Amino acid sequence: MLNFALIIGFLTTVLSILVKVVGFPDQIRKNYKRKSTEGVSTSFYILSFLVYLLWTLHGILQKDMVIVFGQGLGIITTGAVVYQIFLYRRKK
């Protein structure tokens, strides 16, 4: 029988991945189509990127692949937006 902590860990991972697979990619596509990040909060995405990076490093140090996978995906998606912020703002 599955224990409560395992169920919560699984649900947290699934929902975290959904946020990163649905939410952030929509912003990436919108930025790409407009070739602009106007209205996007630079501080939010940079802080989010750093948080995902630190959580991923924590997962690596704890040898917890659930954390590494879930938070690592956040590095990729927020990293893409941070890249777009600097790419499109430099072109102005």
What pLDDT digit, counting tens, does each position of 16-33 carry? Answer: 788 888 888 999 999 999
For residue 35, what are its two tokens? 């070739």
pLDDT at 44: 95
* Band of pLDDT at residue 1, cut at 50, 70 and 90: low
DSSP letter at 21?
A: I
Domain boundaries, the chain: 41-92
pLDDT at 83: 96
What span, in angstroms and rounded, lies between the C-alpha atoms of 56 and 53?
5
Q: Residue 52: what are its φ and ψ, rounded to 5°?
A: -60, -40
pLDDT at 86: 93
Tens-place pLDDT, residues 40-89: 999 999 999 999 999 999 999 999 998 898 889 899 999 999 999 999 98
Cβ atoms of residues 75 and 24 within 8 Å: no
* C-alpha distance from residue 63 to each of 77, 87, 92 (Å): 22, 35, 43
Name the residue with higher pLDDT: 4 or 90: 4
